[in-house]
């Protein structure tokens, strides 16, 4: 187990570098309430510790899995408020999984048609461009 001690006094750039997150994105996540506002130094500089880093990593991982910021807010709320967040978290993830699968299906439909027209354009034997004809609707897209 790493992070035995809480490391304090991280600046924003350092937090960004450690997590691979864009500098401005950190501020954005604070603004929209995904990350808590960190304490400030006397001069008003944000001062993070490893608990902030952990939470930011959670957000970044969830984004990698395609969760929306609203869904992530919901997940974080469950983590904060529930003893056993698993059942409710599962619902969020399962719903998101449905979304992802629907998107895959959409993209595969596009892929099929695109592959088709690119192949037809490639053989170059046709007088009219099959891609353009398809888009003008003389041929069906499905």
Partner DNA sequence: TCTTGACCCTGTAGTCACTACAGACCGCAT
Partner DNA sequence: ATGCGGTCTGTAGTGACTACAGGGTCAAGA
Interface positions with DNA (CB under 7 A): 11-14, 22-25, 27-28, 40-46, 63, 68-70
Q: Which does 23 bind (CB under 5 to 8 A by kind): DNA, its own copies, none?
A: DNA
Rounded to an integer, what distance in angstroms lies between the CA atom of residue 113 and that of residue 15?
Answer: 44
In the complex, least distance from residue 74 CB atom to DNA, rounded to whole angstroms: 11
Largest CA distance in the chain: 74
The answer to whether the beta carbons of residues 72 and 34 sit under 8 Å apart is: yes
Indicate whether 141 belongs to the interface with its own copies (CB under 8 A): yes
HSE value, Cβ hemisphere, 13 Å, CA-based, for 103: 7
Looking only at residues 36 through 75 of this chain, which bind its own copies when binding is defined by CB under 8 A? Answer: 54, 57-58, 61-62, 64-66, 75
Rounded to an integer, what distance in angstroms lies between the CA atom of residue 131 and that of residue 121?
Answer: 7
**Of 8 and 108, which has the nearer Cβ to its own copies?**
108
Q: Which does 135 bind (CB under 5 to 8 A by kind): its own copies, DNA, none?
A: its own copies
């Amino acid at each position: 187990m790493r992070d035995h001690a809480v490391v304090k006094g991280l600046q924003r750039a350092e937090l960004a570098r450690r997590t691979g997150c864009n500098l401005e994105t950190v501020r954005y996540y604070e603004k929209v309430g995904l990350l808590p506002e960190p304490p400030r130094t006397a001069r008003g500089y944000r001062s993070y510790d490893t608990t902030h880093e952990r939470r930011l990593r959670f957000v970044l991982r969830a984004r990698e899995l395609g969760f929306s910021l609203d869904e992530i807010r919901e997940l974080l709320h469950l983590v904060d408020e529930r003893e056993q967040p698993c059942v409710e978290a599962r619902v969020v993830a399962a719903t998101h999984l449905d979304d992802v699968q629907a998107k895959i299906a959409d993209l595969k439909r596009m892929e099929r048609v695109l592959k088709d027209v690119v192949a037809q354009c490639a053989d170059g034997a046709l007088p009219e461009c099959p891609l353009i004809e398809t888009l003008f609707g003389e041929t069906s897209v499905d």
